[in-house]
Amino acid sequence: MKRQMPSPMLSMQLWLMRRGPAVCGAVALLTLGLALWAWLLPQRLAQQIEMQQPLPAPSALVQAPPPPTANENLTLFYQTLGERRYVEQQVKTLFDLAAKTGLSLNQGEYKSGYDKASGVSTYQITLPVRGPYQNIWQFALQALAAMPYAALDEIGFRRDAIGDPSVEARLRFTLYLKEQP
């Protein structure tokens, strides 16, 4: 009687059954790893070839505008200055902003000046205000936004008692003004 040879699949199955579940799991992981490696290898090679090719040149380079010249800066400076003839309205703007932010402002000290070399007039305004700390800063920032030709030169705070929610502050603004053309 002639004996038939078992198929390779059956031989493998018998061999794995004799070895136990740990070897079966290891063989399964090995097979999975080899399949994954065989699948990823062509993709990795294509990626390396793509990276070795030079990047295409940009069609049009965007250039930053050149910085302004000194004359352009000077022209912009003089255009930004406030007008001296409207100084009373500018002081009224400060009082209106103080009232809008809930600060008490009764009076101010004013001092005008003129710089012959630049042809710029200055108008210093010192304002004693009283109110919450946050409102004082809000007033100062709104004043600077409303008058781009103004500078906040000095600010000082004083509180009578630690628990007092109200603060006394002294703000000194300088308005930089031009004479009317």
> Pairing mode, if any, of strands 109-115 and 82-83?
unpaired
pLDDT value at position 59? 65
Mean pLDDT within 154-171: 89
User: Is the separation of the CB atoms in 94 and 143 below 8 Å?
Assistant: yes
Do the Cβ atoms of 98 and 146 come closer than 8 Å? Answer: no
Strands (E) across the chain are located at 82-83, 109-115, 120-132, 150-158, 166-178
Q: Which residue did the predictor score with more confidence, 144 or 49?
A: 144
List pLDDT tens digits, range 78-95: 898 999 999 999 999 999
Say if CB 142 and CB 96 are below 8 A apart. no
Query: Exposure string (b/e) for 159-181, b if CB count within 10 Å is 16 or more?
Result: eeeeeeeebbbebbbbbbbbeee
Q: Average pLDDT in the 56-81 region?
A: 83
Tens digits of residue pLDDT in 15-28: 777 777 787 788 78
Q: What pLDDT is attached to residue 134?
A: 93
CA pair distance 82, 143, nearest whole angstrom = 13
Question: pLDDT at residue 1 above 60?
Answer: no
Task: Look at the block and give the residue holding tokens 């500018």.
Answer: 90
Model confidence at 4, pLDDT cuts 50, 70, 90, reads low
